[in-house]
Structure 1
Amino acid sequence: MSETRPPGLGEFRLLVSGPEHPGLSAAVSGALAEQGADVVRFDQLTPAAPAPADHAGPTSYLRAAFRVEEPGTGVPLVEQALHELLDGKGMTWTISDASAPKRMIILASRSDHCLLELLWRHRRGELAAEIPLVISNHRDVQAGVEFFGIPFVHVPSGGEDKSASEAEILELVRGRADLVVLARYMQVLSEDFLRAIGAPVINIHHSFLPAFVGAGPYRKAWERGVKLIGATAHYVTPELDAGPIIEQDVARVDHTYGPKDLQKRGAYVERAVLSRAVQAHLEDRVVSRDGRTVVFE
């Protein structure tokens, strides 16, 4: 999804989440209008289902795409109005510039299907991002990356102790990425690394989480005799394969499939799921709060 911007206008996206407040959408749209912003898209969700036991009440999620004629003065006025409106209500909100592509660094290993899908979609203009480089702990994907004209850096994983390789990756990534994507990067990232990287990290897991967490999910699925296999794209947190889910999909299989057949079938699902999740994040359509996400169309 994208909102077409006429020449001379700055386009921005607002994401809001927090406790439900009656009249929130009207108040936010009114605050934008009062500061001269032209709202071109407005979406809100307040789930009707009961809140979890550990939550005080329902959570509202809101996304607005708006334009201002003079961003240098108009956006600060919008921000001030939102501070006054939302900060005392326990709301979390961000504004991003839709005209500035996010910087996306990709980490990969030997498997190239998810990586090449992202690079192909990027070349076609489907992913509004800059890709400063691709980092891999193996050289298997180097030729494919360089074919797309993207710089490639090889950083070996370094055996059991990953601290040296993580430190090298941090030096390459820090300050150069608004998003890091693990395109089948088959390494578990440490909590220290995730805290220091300074950007959200999206991973693709080759199962329909929360089923078959960790390594070898296709073999685990085969051992259970599943009739559906899937893939899950999620934000990375210190807990393995437990971060907020962005996108999922499945494919039907049957008793004739062995573990390798499941893996081949699943590769199609993995690359589609990851690319959709990345696109949603780049277009500021994902609102994450309390371990769950809402993804606006």
Structure 2
Amino acid sequence: MWLSLGLAALALFILPPRLLSDFQLYTFNLALVNVLLAIGLNLVIGVARQFALFSGALFGVGAYVAAICQMRFGLGFLAAIPFAMMAGLVVAAVTSLVAWRAGDLYLAMITFGFGEIFQFFLVHADSLTNGPDGLAVPRPVVFGVSFATPAQLFLLFLPLTIAALVSYRLIERGRLGQLLVALGDSEVALAAIGHDHRLVKTLAFAVQGAYAGLAGAMFAAAVGFIDPYSFGLSVTLQQLTAIAVGGFGSLFGAVTGSIVLTLIDRVLIDFPGLRELGYGVCLLAVFLVFPGGLAGVLLPRRGAS
């Protein structure tokens, strides 16, 4: 298995930059960003079953922190990533403190409200974020080498994404993963065996924030420009659709669903109405025909694992 995974990773490093066009590689880079967003959201909603709707805001926190670290403080791209991840982690953890006593619809509304407040802040904090005009983000420079083309960015993003996927699998199979599953099953039962469900909820949110922060830093580098309207509720809804299409609670499903939704988004980007229709058709197909998502279809023997 490890040999197969290693060969697959090697093929990903070698073949796409040689075979794909710049537009296709740009789409691939966006898919890697969406994979990170989807697995973070999947950890909270699919595994811990906490219905939080602020992925777009956490995504924006990572993008703006990474951009400001590079533009205002002269940090390199790799040096800015820990700050972006930490910012997303802290913001998500603090938001979870507010939502400790909330669940289901109330939790969704609280996190949705935070997302709206964050977008309002981005628009009006002109001195920091340049307001609605946005920020032109410099291309990453690593050890004196500029990563400007989609092919170069792909070679930079792929190892970061692989590292994030490996860390997710370690979390999923470790003690924290067991606690998150228990949290999703029953908060009362979790408390009965001596664990504070509020702390576990905060840990789930914090991990999601770190993944979203990394995704934001990569997104800012990939597109070269960010503005407040890139991090609204639509981002959260797209990722929610992605993990629903892929299969709730499944790492494979989150990755597959996010890639499928990215491809739909890029193919139909010039047809806004058709893009939303494509999302809706995917959701209907999942709920009516494949209730287990793509993971249930492609991995029938393993379920959604």
TM-score of the superposed pair, with normalisation by structure 2: 0.26
Q: Which has the higher contact order (CA 8 A, sep 6+)?
A: 2
Larger Rg: 1
Task: Indicate the structure with greater strand content.
Answer: 1
TM-score of the superposed pair, with normalisation by structure 1: 0.27
